[in-house]
């Protein structure tokens, strides 16, 4: 027996669930102390309750998530609309450093999955499915590679394993980022830097001049217009890249489209009031990310992975420990051991085990409490959305050649 909730109803349910998350975080001190994002607080609660309903009655509740991916495009376009090229150039070296660290971690993650699977007497390829295929890659990569594992390597339940690891990894990523940043900030007594850079809706200071502009009817309409223009440019980029044989995710193309607009339009029309740094843009950014992550978590169907729980939990426990140690011991000092580095570590916790939106939500929760980190909000999505997708395919293929 199943119940499918339509797209419009799903969107409204997500609003209610997100409001419950805010209520929980205001009243449960431990959620605030460890910087657990509001969508995570209530989204996980809903998916657990639905799993209990399924266990008792056999009812499977599903959600139509058609609206979710569109909100993701809005969120990344909002980041791009505040990304002046001078900010990107200033963050050039940290971007290259994080790319190198992520590539190294990608190999380490696969070695961890293969090693743990081998120790349990499982096919090492199943461990590879519990590596960068599903964790750094996420659901999309797991779904894309599963037929290859079935056809060429005889792993008949590759899709189930990949989806299960990606699903549980998303949960672990949501729970890891905030506590890691909190530990680093308190351990090293870090302070936030100046509030220069792109507006993301993630903890901007109230005393910055741009934030003094109120949200008005026309400021919100102007923000929506430029967000839509960013998506339009992103769609053109995405289509053009596909024609050339590249399959860059649409949300990355939307990010690049917005960056292109924000570095051209204000220079061509200097008297135009650009939405960068405005409360309207911050508001749209927060709404998009909050509802996206709420939808993602509340729609998890935990009962679909119950039969694979044992081996998967052992692999993911090892992956969690490796990601935690790598973030604290390697990423933090390599990125400068400052406040920006701590926020980047919370984002790295998201991309290493979950997905780009999880990384952004982790950083948003930290920034809301401790202060803004514009550098982190530019570097992390560029690494996770662009470099990871390209390099992960190469790394997975190399491991398949080695293990096959």
| pLDDT tens-digit readout, 187-209 | 998 876 554 444 444 434 333 33
Torsion angle of C-alpha atoms 82, 379, 394, 292, degrees rounded to 10 = -60
DSSP states of 327-343 as a string? IIIIIHHHTTSSHHHHH
Q: Rounded CA gap, 143 and 155, in Å?
A: 13
For the purposes of burial, counting CB atoms within 10 Å of the CB of 97, is it exposed (0-12), middle (13-18) or buried (19 or more)? middle
Answer whether 279's CB lies under 8 Å from 73's CB: no
Instruction: Give whichever of 60-74, 205-219, 225-239 has the largest mean pLDDT.
Output: 225-239
pLDDT (0 to 100) of residue 229: 95
Of the two residues 323 and 160, the one the predictor is more confident about is: 323
Answer whether 176's CB lies under 8 Å from 348's CB: no
In this prediction, residues 141-165 reach a mean pLDDT of 79
pLDDT (0 to 100) of residue 202: 42
Q: Which residues share a beta bridge with 5?
A: 63
| pLDDT tens-digit readout, 292-306 | 878 877 887 777 666
Of the two residues 123 and 157, the one the predictor is more confident about is: 123
For residue 384, pLDDT beyond 90? no
Q: Which DSSP letter does residue 214 get?
A: P
pLDDT (0 to 100) of residue 242: 86
Domain count, the chain: 1
In this prediction, residues 218-237 reach a mean pLDDT of 92
For residue 273, pLDDT beyond 90? no
For residue 32, pLDDT beyond 90? no
Q: Rounded CA gap, 119 and 112, in Å?
A: 11
Helix 92-119 to helix 339-353 angle (10° resolution) is 40
| pLDDT tens-digit readout, 302-356 | 776 666 678 888 999 999 999 999 999 999 999 999 999 999 999 999 889 987 7
Domain that holds residue 323: 2-403
pLDDT (0 to 100) of residue 160: 74
Name the percent of the chain lying above pLDDT 90: 31
pLDDT (0 to 100) of residue 307: 63
pLDDT (0 to 100) of residue 213: 66
For residue 145, pLDDT beyond 60? yes
Cα separation of the two ends of the chain: 40
For residue 59, pLDDT beyond 80? yes
pLDDT (0 to 100) of residue 207: 34
Name the percent of the chain lying above pLDDT 70: 88
Of the two residues 275 and 212, the one the predictor is more confident about is: 275
In this prediction, residues 47-71 reach a mean pLDDT of 88
pLDDT (0 to 100) of residue 91: 58
| pLDDT tens-digit readout, 164-178 | 788 788 888 888 888
**Mean pLDDT score across all residues of the chain:** 83
Q: Which two tokens stand for residue 224?
A: 């929506």
In this prediction, residues 95-122 reach a mean pLDDT of 93
pLDDT (0 to 100) of residue 169: 86
Read off the CATH number of the domain in which 68 is found.
Answer: 1.20.1530
51: region left, alpha or beta (phi > 0 left; psi from -120 to 50 alpha): alpha
The H or E element containing residue 63 is strand 60-63
Answer whether 301's CB lies under 8 Å from 153's CB: no
For the purposes of burial, counting CB atoms within 10 Å of the CB of 94, is it exposed (0-12), middle (13-18) or buried (19 or more)? buried
For residue 235, pLDDT beyond 80? yes
């Amino acid at each position: 027996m199943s119940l499918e909730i339509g797209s419009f109803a799903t969107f409204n349910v997500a609003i209610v669930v997100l409001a419950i998350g805010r209520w929980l975080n205001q009243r449960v001190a431990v959620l605030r102390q460890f910087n657990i994002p509001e969508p995570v607080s209530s989204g996980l609660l809903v998916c657990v309750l639905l799993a209990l309903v399924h266990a008792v009655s056999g009812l499977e509740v599903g959600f139509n998530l058609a609206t979710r991916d569109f909100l993701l495009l809005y969120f990344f376009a909002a980041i791009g609309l505040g990304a002046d090229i001078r900010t990107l150039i200033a963050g050039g070296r940290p971007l290259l450093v994080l790319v190198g660290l992520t590539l190294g971690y990608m190999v380490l993650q696969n070695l961890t999955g293969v090693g743990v699977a081998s120790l349990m007497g499982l096919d090492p390829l199943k461990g590879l499915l519990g590596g960068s295929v599903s964790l750094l890659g996420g659901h999309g990569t797991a779904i894309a590679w599963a037929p290859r594992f079935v056809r060429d390597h005889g792993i008949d339940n590759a899709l189930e394993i990949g989806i299960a690891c990606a699903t549980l990894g998303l949960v672990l990523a949501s729970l890891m980022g905030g506590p890691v940043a909190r530990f680093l900030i308190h351990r090293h007594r870090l302070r936030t830097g100046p509030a220069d850079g792109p507006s993301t809706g993630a903890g901007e200071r109230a005393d910055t001049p741009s934030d003094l502009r109120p949200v008005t009817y026309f400021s919100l309409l102007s923000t929506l217009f430029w967000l839509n223009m960013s998506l339009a440019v992103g769609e053109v980029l995405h289509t053009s890249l596909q024609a050339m044989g590249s399959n860059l995710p649409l949300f990355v193309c939307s990010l690049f489209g917005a960056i292109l607009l924000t570095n051209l339009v204000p220079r061509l029309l200097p008297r135009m009031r650009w939405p960068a740094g405005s409360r309207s843009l911050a508001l749209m950014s927060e709404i998009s990310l909050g509802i996206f992550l709420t939808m993602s978590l509340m729609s998890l169907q935990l009962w679909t992975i119950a039969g694979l729980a044992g081996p998967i939990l052992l692999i993911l426990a090892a992956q969690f420990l490796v990601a935690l140690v790598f973030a604290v011991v390697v990423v933090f000092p390599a990125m400068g051991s400052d406040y920006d580095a701590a926020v980047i570590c919370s984002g790295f916790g998201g991309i290493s085990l979950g997905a780009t939106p999880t990384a952004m939500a982790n950083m948003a929760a930290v920034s809301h409490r401790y202060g803004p980190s514009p550098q982190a909000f530019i570097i992390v999505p560029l690494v996770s959305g662009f470099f990871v997708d390209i390099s992960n395919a190469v790394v997975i293929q190399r491991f398949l050649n080695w293990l096959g």
